[in-house]
Structure 1
């Protein structure tokens, strides 16, 4: 019998989140929905498909055979949809005065983004800004593949000769570690004392940025120990409280991971971190997008410089 049913993308996103987390509460937090709402959507999906996708008992959550069979197909459907949505966004941006701004973590830092937006829209009131959140797998926050026009990134960038940038903030790198770590009681830690600690690392695709946040530039050629790889602030926090390692973090990003069970300390012997607004050098805004797009990028970069006071 061929099964026919109308399954929505939201239900597939919810299913994939639970399948990857194997924990309804963590999946709900990842999706920014309530746990009851998530459970309701999963039950609705199971009802439409006529099968149970998860087994829930006192031991936790696990995929059923049907759920395991569905997972790779659900991921492909969501990936295809994201690619289609990105294609539509690019087409819309080409037709309208839209600037796509990428970032991989919330910039925060005293209302910096709203201030830049205010300056930009005052100078270019006809323009539309679109923010796009990019995973940590892409250290260029969408610039490399043309999904974004400008992006807030951490330096150094891979293939950085391709990009121009203006530094937004320069901040010391702190060390975040579990509250019960032997070094947590110290007021300050020398980086040399962390040489044997397992570190949380960005994905390998982050290239030189992975090395920077491992402190490779300050290890004197000694390779770091990798405790786990992390691709989001949520994964970083979970790995910290699980005791999988310690992690370097920019001072302004500390609120993203300094939840219960985690603390941070100043570190000596490290160069500071630099967050920058970057764009592609070749024509300042994406293949085939013309002088109008270049002007938007210049206007946004100028608004950024005015707000930060940097050249």
Structure 2
């Protein structure tokens, strides 16, 4: 019987959380998608992994027997994959990001790394919003500039910048002539959302921490340029970090402070199971 690595990761996360809701949030997938994958895995195995209870889940005897073995398999695979990829690019560090970083962070970090690690090259990789870890989850990036929150499994983060959230509006929008816009005045506006795979990060940029109901979703987008094109076209509005409001200025678009929302956090992130010294050299190159 064969099982996919993704299904095994889903099994471990669900076994540790013992609720589909918490496991889905941790994995940045929808609850229906997670439940479907777990049922498919159980069908292939020929036995149940979980007992469905009125409140949450409990591992069956078979699930309890498999859990430590699957954990060990995944840990071994992750270590081996990192080591094998490093052999293909032995002196290359890949830095993931979801938007332009700016803020005078990326340039001095790359310069400092090159000075401290001669012979190494740095590659910058732009990753869509459908992967909130910017390539860390599948080890296609070695370190990454990310917006929080992101999945915590095997990842460590250090906050670099905290910035107010602003809103991007079409220049002709009725609210565009105001210097600040309280979030209450945006609750009924159609929003451009990150893809569902972004999970809690999608919720953060929809302002779910300040809503009591569901937002109006006008469209979804996987990259910053796509988001802002939709806003400029009048499809909807979007929350954006203050620094990105400066980076992405363009005709037909205005940015206004939303003063009553908690700030956004830009962080550097890395895998805790990556033993390579070069990763820590890069981290130490960031002030």
The two structures share one fold, judged by TM-score above 0.5 = yes
- Computed over aligned residues only, the root mean square deviation of the Cα atoms, in angstroms, reads 1.8
| 1:301 positional shift | 0.9
Q: TM-score, normalised by structure 1?
A: 0.62
Structure 1 residues 114 and 227, CA, compared in 2 at 3 Å: closer, same or farther?
A: same
1:102–1:149 Cα contact (<8 Å) kept: yes
Question: Which one has more relative contact order, counting CA pairs under 8 Å at least 6 apart?
Answer: 2
Tell whether 2:180 aligns with 1:198: no
* Distance of aligned partners of 1:93 and 1:138 in 2 relative to their CA distance in 1, 3 Å threshold: farther
Corresponding position of 1:298: 280
Out of 116, 119, 138, the position equivalent to 1:123 is 116
Match of 2:8 in 1: none
Cα deviation for residue 241 of structure 1 reads 1.9
Shift of residue 92 of structure 1? 6.1
Is 2:230 the partner of 1:248?
A: no
Partner of residue 140, structure 2: 147
Matched, 1:182 2:174: yes
CA–CA distance in structure 2, aligned partners of residues 150 and 280 of structure 1: 8
CA distance in 1, matches of 2:160, 2:86: 28
1:94 deviates by 4.4
Gaps of 5+ in 2: 1-80
1:178 shift after superposition:
0.7
Counterparts of 2:240 and 2:203, CA distance in 1: 13
- Count of aligned pairs: 205
Distance 1:273 1:91 in 2: 33
For 1:279, which of 270, 274, 283 is the aligned residue? 270
Q: CA deviation at 1:133?
A: 1.4
Q: Is the 8 A contact 1:99 1:296 kept in 2?
A: yes
CA distance in 2, matches of 1:180, 1:303: 43
Q: Give the 3-state SS of the residue equivalent to 1:160 in structure 2.
A: coil
| 8 Å contact kept, 2:147–2:264 | yes
Q: Shift of the alpha carbon at 1:162?
A: 2.5
Residues 10-56 of structure 1: CA distance to partner in whole angstroms, max 9, x if unpaired?
xxxxxxxxxxxxxxxxxxxxxxxxxxxxxxxxxxxxxxxxxxxxxxx
1:96 maps to which of 84, 90, 94: 90
SS at match of 1:130: strand
Contact kept in structure 1, 2:164 and 2:259, CA below 8 Å: no
> Superposition pairs for residues 35-184 of structure 1, below 5 Å?
91=85, 94=88, 96-110=90-104, 112-157=105-150, 159-184=151-176
User: How many Å apart are 1:273 and its aligned residue?
Assistant: 0.6
Return the alpha-carbon distance in structure 2 between the equivalents of residues 253 and 93 of structure 1: 36
Q: How far 1:95 moved relative to its partner? A: 5.0
Calculate the TM-score normalised by the size of structure 2.
0.67
Matches of 1:216 and 1:195, distance apart in 2: 10
Runs of at least 4 residues off by over 3 Å: 90-95
* 1:96-129 alpha-carbon deviations (Å, 9 max, x no partner): 222111111111123x211011211222223221
2:225 is aligned with 1:234: yes
Task: Judge conservation of contact 1:178–1:240 (CA < 8 Å) in 2.
Answer: yes
Partners of 1:91 and 1:149 lie apart in 2 by 10
